[in-house]
Amino acid sequence: MDILISLILLFLLLPTAYAGFTAAPFVPTFSGDIDRIIKLADPKKGNTFLELGCGSGRVMIAMAKQYREVTVIGIEIQPLLFLFVKIKILILGLKRMAKVKLNSLFAEDLHSADIIYFYLMPRTMPKIKEKMKKELKAGAKVISYAFPIPGWKPKRISKEKYHLPIYLYERR
pLDDT of residue 24: 61
Identify the burial level of 30 via C-beta atoms within 10 angstroms of its C-beta, where 0-12 means exposed, 13-18 middle and 19 or more buried: middle
Q: Regarding beta strands 156-158 and 48-52, do their DSSP bridges make them parallel or antiparallel, or are they unpaired?
A: unpaired
Q: Which of 7-11, 32-36, 43-47, 135-139 has the lowest mean pLDDT?
A: 7-11
Mean pLDDT, residues 2-7 taken together? 50
- Of 7 and 154, which is predicted with more confidence? 154
Structural domains in the chain (count): 1
pLDDT at 111: 97
pLDDT at position 100 is 98
Give the domain extent around 37.
2-170
The pLDDT value given to residue 92: 97
Residues 45-94 have pLDDT tens digits of: 999 999 999 999 999 999 999 999 999 999 999 999 999 999 999 999 99
In terms of pLDDT, which residue wins out, 111 or 23? 111
* Pairwise CA distance, residues 100 & 15, whole Å: 16
Closest listed residue to residue 102, CA positions, set 131, 125, 81, 128? 81
d(CA 97, CA 95): 6
Per-residue pLDDT for 13 more than 70?
no
Torsion on CA atoms 63, 60, 166, 133, rounded to nearest 10: -110
pTM assigned to the model: 0.86
pLDDT of residue 172: 84
d(CA 102, CA 79): 7
**pLDDT of 5:** 47
Instruction: Say how many C-beta atoms besides its own lie within 10 A of residue 73's C-beta.
Output: 19
Distances in whole angstroms, Cα of residue 158 to Cα of each of 12, 49, 58, 163, 170: 35, 19, 19, 9, 15
- Categorize the per-residue pLDDT at 28 as very low, low, confident or very high, splitting at 50, 70 and 90: confident
Distance CA 172, CA 157 (A): 18
**Euclidean distance between the first and final Cα of the chain, in Å?**
55
pLDDT, mean over the chain: 90
Task: Return the CATH number at 157.
Answer: 3.40.50.150
How far, in whole angstroms, is CA 122 from its chain's centroid?
A: 15
